[in-house]
Amino acid sequence: MSYFDGHVRELCTVPAELLAPLDRLLENSRDTFLVENAHKPNKFGDFEKSTQHIVFKFPLELEDHTRSKYQPIWEKYRAAVEPIIAAVTPFYGYANGQTCRIMLARLKAGGEIRKHVDGMRSADVPHKIHVPLVTDPEVFFWAEDEAIHLSRGAAFEVNNKVMHGGCNTSAIDRIHLIFDYYDQA
């Protein structure tokens, strides 16, 4: 399994100039989140109350991370997202690194993602990476019983095989770029 033994680790700094193109796309994204969230492939009970997603890539089956499909919306965001992924992934040193999930996740102001463990087999191997785009000091990622603020300007790997969740007690919606990364070799 590829995930690491800890809870959360900071991987690297993500330069502001790499985040800027995605920031510009997000400025008027409220309708995009509503439209894309309505037909997303990742509908998981409790998440529906507090979260919205723009899914760019998702596994064809939840049991297999090696076969994924890009959604049509990817072409609009690709040029803004690919450089961020390219800046974060050298940390792993994979000869044939691949993504199997790529999405934007909005946690609504006042929202909560209950603690859970990602149980699907397609989440067993890839590294789960969060790049905060819009956040606030009152937004926390829970890993076991620890509340951690994931700050903008960095990329973080989170261990999705320990109890984890999120809480947004701020007055703004939190938005993260989230992607799963693994070695195809």
The CATH number given to whatever domain includes residue 43 is 2.60.120.330
Tokens representing 149? 């603020």
**Domain interval for residue 64:** 8-183
Where do we find the tokens 């800890």? Answer: 6
Domain membership flag for residue 3: no
Per-residue pLDDT of the chain (185 residues; tens, 9 = 90+): 455 667 899 999 999 999 999 999 999 887 999 899 888 776 555 566 789 999 999 998 878 888 999 999 999 999 999 999 999 999 999 999 999 999 999 999 999 988 877 766 666 678 899 999 999 999 999 988 889 999 999 999 998 877 788 999 999 999 999 999 999 87
Instruction: Evaluate whether residue 76 is within a structural domain.
Output: yes
Is 58:41 a contact under the CB 8 Å cutoff? yes
Spatial distance between the Cα atoms of 45 and 5, rounded to a whole number of angstroms:
27
Could you identify the residue written with the tokens 């940390």? 91
Phi, psi of 33 (to 5 degrees): -60, -45
Residue count (the chain): 185
Q: Is 167 within a domain?
A: yes
Is residue 53 assigned to a domain?
A: yes
Q: Cα 109 vs. chain centroid, distance in angstroms? A: 17
Whether 2 is in a domain gets the answer no
Largest CA distance in the chain: 44
Does 62 reside within a domain? yes
- pTM, two decimals, is 0.92
Total of domains in the chain: 1
Per DSSP, the three-state class of 78 is helix
Query: Rounded distance, CA 7 to CA 43, Å?
Result: 24
Q: How far apart are the first and last CA of the chain?
A: 14
